[in-house]
Structure 1
Amino acid sequence: MKKFTMALLVFSCLSIPTGSEASSPIQSIIDTTPAGGTVEIEAGEYEETIVIDKPLIIVGKGDVLLRSCEKEPVVIIAGEGVKIKNITLEHCGAEEEDTAVSITGSHHLLDGIKIETRRFGIMLVEVNDVTVQNSELKGRNRGNGIDLWKSDQNQIENVKITNVTDGIYLEQSHENVLSKNSIENSRYGMHLMYSNQNVLQENSSTSNITGAMLMETDKTSVRHNMFEANKSNVNAQGLLLYEAYNTEVIENEIRGNRVGVYIEKAEKNQLVSNKIIDNFIGVQFKNANENKISQNTFIGNVNEAQAIESSANKVDNNYWDAASLVDMDGDGKSEIPYHADPYFLTLTKSVPEYQLFFQAPGLILLQKLLKSPDDQLLTDSAPLMEMSLTVEKETTSRVGLWVMSILMIIASTSVFILGRKRK
């Protein structure tokens, strides 16, 4: 394999013609490097775009920045076997479909890439076996971070993505693996559309509108992810399954979201061994049937669960911190079924100010007297006596909610008394 250094780059710069027909310096080196060769780019800033359509290794030596505001991507990759390492790309084009990196073909690698873009970051179109890893991508919430269209068997690993529309977007793309990525301050962290048999594992999706959305997908695996603090929008949720089928949601931590898991028009999915903690609603069903909810730990959620127009969902052997627990035969399961009643949720939907009285004794009494319709109750016939999972905040969530409720009641009472005194 022949290695070309920037000495050759300088020589080529001196030999290329001037004027509008002149090729860019880096592109000239790429064009003259034989397939299988390596191009090393010395540290510096370069105002140009490049096209790589043969097997090459492009390596940045030191701090290398390629910048362009043209309509074309900063880097276009085609063919097979292109590897790009340790390069920063900046694309300042503002057209709707502008993208920093465009990829077609197969067996490519992007490693250690940093991207700043006004629109799309990386667009993969009809590719397979492409790896994007150990990289960073920052946008302006006007395009997707990594966008896959009809692209199968690709790996996206250890990529930090911020301020984009959708962090990683898949459409008609199958058998891809998204692992150990961190996505923040975007619309959807991971967004799958009409895409089957994908794997989402060990990702962190935080402070987005929705941590992950799976729509019209089949046989997706969602394991060991963190969906946290996705709550800044009235439609926010940690994980959304919409018309999803045969999906496994296993051993994830779903914490501090508006809705932890929202399942709509979805069937035959499994929600097993997850930590569902400190969400406004733990899990919510709508027109969802034949799903399995088991071995999960529900702690500190304002409203544990709600089911509307949903049937044949198997809910058993979960730990609910709001359950009444009595174990007569010592099997570790309570003889008293747990009914998740959405009364408080229904009440506050009509009058949001009633959220101030969450867990107030009077409201709890009303909930017991005015039971919700049976079709809205989600029942665990045998709740666990003890948590099946280790939770860092085992007791503080419940205590914190009681303290918050008491303070709110005191504040409300004070306002009422002061108001009467003024009169």
Structure 2
Amino acid sequence: MKIMNYIMFLLVLSLFMPAVSGAEGTLQSKIDEAKKGATIEIEEGEYEETLVISKPITLEGKGEVLLRSCQAEPVITISGESVTLKNVKVEHCGDEKEDTAIYVTGTNHKLEGLAVETKRYGIRLDHANGVTIKDSDIVGRKQGNGIDLWESNQNQFENIKITNVMDGIYLERSNKNTIHRNDIQRSRYGLHLMFSNENILDENVSRANITGTMLMESKRTVVRHNKFLSNNKSVNAQGLLIYVSTDTEVTGNEFISNRIGIFIEEAEKNRIDSNKIMDNFIGIQFKKANGNTIMRNTFVGNVNDAQAVESANNEFNRNYWDAASKVDVNGDGESEIVYSADPYFLTLTSAIPEYQLFFQTPGLLLLQNILKSPADQLLTDSAPLMDMTMEVEKEKSTSLSLWVISVVMILSSFSLFIFGRIRR
């Protein structure tokens, strides 16, 4: 009887052991054996292995498929051309600086329906061209970029949700890429372009990041129909930062409830046209920036509409300002009263924060009218519009964010006043 039990145990063990040990490398073996153009279907389950794909095949998950590894190499490495990866979850649990869930080089690959979890980098493109990544989710731990490009051109990123990474999509020396309808939240920079030219950022949402989008030393970028929302959790926060960049077209975007809606620094020949700039602490700010054009924008509900420092040669023309006095004598839709955005309050409170207690008080408004800011800080619109260029909610501005900003300013100033007295 004991012998029979022992034999049965060995039979059961023989049934299960090959399946467990054979699971390692099973997918890689199928990949190695597949012919060009073949489709490999991955059965539902969890796979603890790393894969290398270097020929034009399709790897597609059926059901819930998890590919997981904590090794130094990427979970999936793609090279060559025309590889398709679909409907899998990829998890990299390593915590070394360069750890990457998916590494891509080569041309014309297609990645879709992915769910990526990583402690470091999500998807890295290195000299990868003509790659499409879409309909995917990437979640990180703010230690690496969601999608990282190095010298990678003419790629397309569409309908990707990226959360809790360092930079949502980072481009360096990468040109003519299209970034369309992505949602990036709770990261350092939503989109970050460095030395990258002729890229298109279209219909993305960048919210609750430190900076919604940064363009640095990049040329001919198109930024259109995006939403930059609530990028205000840091003293350095802004919706869009244009730094040492030229020929940028910023059109049809919404900048709402950011610390600074648009910040232009040491940049020239950029065009800011037909955007909604609403409920920001500062609508638009210039620093050592000249030769930019700002026209047909709608400024509503900002604490400070505009400020310029050492930036005297920017053209403001035909914008709508809710704070402007408007009189249209000849019916051309433009007010005959010139509007000057004076950052007097901002300048005053930068020097003495306690003066924030007097925000919007009659006395401060009177002082602003008597004591004008320096000429290089005034931004003047010679023909402000009578009507908005973009639709704004029925109440024009929610006012809630403006009240919140004001209350926070008042409370912080009151605290400074009290603590100052105690220390004395």
State the TM-score, normalized to the length of structure 2. 0.90
Amino acid at match of 1:214: L
Cα displacement (A) at 1:28? 0.6
Cα displacement (A) at 1:360? 1.3
1:296 is the counterpart of 2:313: no
Cα displacement (A) at 1:350? 1.9
Corresponding residue for residue 310 of structure 1: 311
Change (3 A) 1:405 1:266: closer
Cα displacement (A) at 1:395? 3.4
Cα displacement (A) at 1:356? 3.2
1:359 is the counterpart of 2:365: no
Instruction: Give deviations 1:70-97, integer Å, cap 9, x for gaps.
Output: 0010000000010000000000110001
Q: Is the 8 A contact 2:295 2:317 kept in 1?
A: yes
Cα displacement (A) at 1:260? 0.2
Corresponding residue for residue 38 of structure 1: 39
Q: Is the 8 A contact 2:320 2:384 kept in 1?
A: yes
Corresponding residue for residue 419 of structure 1: none
Cα displacement (A) at 1:390? 1.0
Corresponding residue for residue 70 of structure 2: 69
Instruction: Give deviations 1:114-139, integer Å, cap 9, x for gaps.
Output: 00000000000001000000000000
Cα displacement (A) at 1:312? 2.1
Q: Within 5 Å, which residues of 2 pair with 1:191-230?
A: 191-230=192-231
| In structure 1, C-alpha distance between the alignment counterparts of 2:66 and 2:400, rounded to whole Å | 52
Q: Is the 8 A contact 2:279 2:401 kept in 1?
A: no
1:167 is the counterpart of 2:168: yes
Helix, strand or coil: the match of 1:62? coil
Q: Give unpaired runs (5+ residues) of structure 2.
A: 1-14, 418-424
Helix, strand or coil: the match of 2:62? strand
Helix, strand or coil: the match of 1:346? helix
Instruction: Give deviations 1:22-54, integer Å, cap 9, x for gaps.
Output: 961110111011111010000001111100000
Figure out how many residues of one structure are paired with residues of the other and give that number.
400
Instruction: Give deviations 1:123-161, integer Å, cap 9, x for gaps.
Output: 000010000000000000000000000000000000000
Cα RMSD for the two superposed structures: 2.5
Corresponding residue for residue 388 of structure 1: 389
Corresponding residue for residue 336 of structure 2: 335
| In structure 1, C-alpha distance between the alignment counterparts of 2:204 and 2:42, rounded to whole Å | 32
Q: Is the 8 A contact 1:360 1:409 kept in 2?
A: no
Helix, strand or coil: the match of 1:59? strand
Corresponding residue for residue 110 of structure 2: 109
Cα displacement (A) at 1:363? 1.1
Instruction: Give deviations 1:227-269, integer Å, cap 9, x for gaps.
Output: 0000101000000000110010000000000000000011110
Cα displacement (A) at 1:401? 5.1
Amino acid at match of 2:111: L
| In structure 1, C-alpha distance between the alignment counterparts of 2:263 and 2:71, rounded to whole Å | 41
Q: Give unpaired runs (5+ residues) of structure 1.
A: 1-10, 417-423
Amino acid at match of 1:53: S
Cα displacement (A) at 1:290? 0.9
Corresponding residue for residue 287 of structure 2: 286
Corresponding residue for residue 57 of structure 1: 58
Corresponding residue for residue 8 of structure 2: none
Change (3 A) 1:45 1:237: same
Q: Is the 8 A contact 1:211 1:238 kept in 2?
A: yes
| In structure 1, C-alpha distance between the alignment counterparts of 2:64 and 2:75, rounded to whole Å | 17
Q: Is the 8 A contact 1:359 1:405 kept in 2?
A: no
Corresponding residue for residue 137 of structure 1: 138
Corresponding residue for residue 273 of structure 2: 272
| In structure 1, C-alpha distance between the alignment counterparts of 2:267 and 2:379, rounded to whole Å | 16
Q: Is the 8 A contact 1:357 1:405 kept in 2?
A: no
Instruction: Give deviations 1:210-231, integer Å, cap 9, x for gaps.
Output: 0000000000000000000001
Cα displacement (A) at 1:409? 8.7
Helix, strand or coil: the match of 2:44? strand
